[in-house]
Amino acid sequence: MNIAERRSDYDSIRAVAALMVAFAHWFMGSALANSFMFGRAGVVAFFVLSGMFIGRILFYQSSIEGETRVSVFLKFALSRILRIVPPYIFAIFLIYLLGYQYVQSNIDALVLFVSNFDMVSGSLYGYAVHFWTISVEVQFYIFWAVLFFLMPSEKLRAKVLLLMIVFGFFWRLFSSYTDQGWVFSTYLLPGCIDSFAVGLLLTRERRVRNSGLMLLLSIVFLLSVMAAVDFKPYESVDSVWFPAVQDVSFTVLTACLIIYMDNHKNLINENFLFRKVLAPLGLISYGFYIWHYFAIPFWAQMGVSFNSDEYKFLAYFSFSFIAAGLSWFIIEKPAMKLRRSIVKVLKMKPATADQ
């Protein structure tokens, strides 16, 4: 699948997820941002989507006649490296050269994709904290690629996925019960692994007759979980079960939304909002996510203050959108073109998508 064949519905989920994370950071401390964990919900959605995409890429490549597990592993590694690393490393080093102290003091962890451990230790903070999610994604890509390589049996992999889902839930529950803190509970790979695993279970599209009802029930489940704690901020909830169950509700909602979209492709892809508004933002959502938090210090350095939240949103969004667009055209598209060239030279079959 090339760029022209990308699914606008999936890109729309990406766009909404990126906007939710950005909103949580831009308006941190506001009543609305605190009442519904927009940031965590967006991150979980990204994790579910990532699990689904890597599952489909690996499944497609391994189904090609004549492919060996080694070649599948190498193509997957090439696909992920050239998709994730160039825009991320460019941003890291540009911000480093501009003298941003939080990046300079954690450059090793950021480059090695272990910044989530610095989050847990408290040494990573400021406007670079959101990079922990990229570290977790890379860690999971390595983890699952190795498991996929070592376990040729699809039935065995399915059992492992179910164990991962259970493990992720109980990791968060146990971490809360032992007062490890919500950062330890949710910022390490074990606390996120169930969201990736659910995404992997969506590797194959399935026809579901009552997908609309499933989506509605998942929304009711999420609202019930949030209402049970009076829509309080994540870190202020005095409950051992909340971190575990909240992520489950976000994961279930994202999974049901994907299933619904898989069963209503024409309806959604022909919708103007999805096709012309959200999908283009979803196309550059990775760059948007990388740069959105730096909109705050950018406008602060420019000496600009905002009289209303509306002007603040427009300014922050404009910076993030322009930075993401430049990242897409200058770095991401050439990197994907390079990947396709390498595939052609090595006479490999292409991956399923530039996701």
pLDDT at 106: 86
- Separation of first and last alpha carbons in the chain: 9
What is the distance between the alpha carbons of residues 298 and 279, in angstroms, rounded to a whole number? 26
Task: Calculate what percentage of the chain has a pLDDT beyond 70.
Answer: 89
> Over the stretch 62-74, which tens digit does the pLDDT of each residue have?
776 666 777 777 7
Is the confidence at residue 4, as pLDDT, over 50?
no
> Over the stretch 206-242, which tens digit does the pLDDT of each residue have?
778 788 888 898 888 888 877 766 566 555 556 667 7
Decide if 350 is inside a domain.
no
Quote the number of domains for the chain.
Answer: 1
Decide if 355 is inside a domain.
no
3 state SS for 31-94:
HHHHHCCHHHHHHHHHHHHHHHHHHHHHHHHHHCCCCCHHHHHHHHHHHHHHHHHHHHHHHHHH
Q: How confident is the model at residue 111 (pLDDT cuts 50, 70, 90)?
A: very high
CA 33 to each of CA 22, 105, 326: distance values in angstroms, whole numbers, following the listed order = 10, 29, 28
Decide if 352 is inside a domain.
no
pLDDT at 236: 59
> Over the stretch 159-181, which tens digit does the pLDDT of each residue have?
999 999 999 999 998 888 887 77
Decide if 34 is inside a domain.
yes
Note the pTM of the prediction, 2 decimals. Answer: 0.90
Angle at 170 between CA 239 and CA 254, to 5 degrees: 85
Structural domain that includes position 113: 3-345
What is the distance between the alpha carbons of residues 293 and 290, in angstroms, rounded to a whole number? 7
Decide if 28 is inside a domain.
yes
Decide if 351 is inside a domain.
no
DSSP letter, residue 131: G
Decide if 115 is inside a domain.
yes
Decide if 353 is inside a domain.
no
Q: Nearest Cα to 200, choosing from 55, 313, 19, 312?
A: 55
The H-assigned helical ranges of the chain are: 8-26, 31-35, 38-63, 69-97, 101-104, 107-111, 115-121, 132-150, 154-177, 182-186, 193-201, 211-228, 242-262, 265-269, 272, 279-283, 285-291, 295-301, 309-327, 333-345
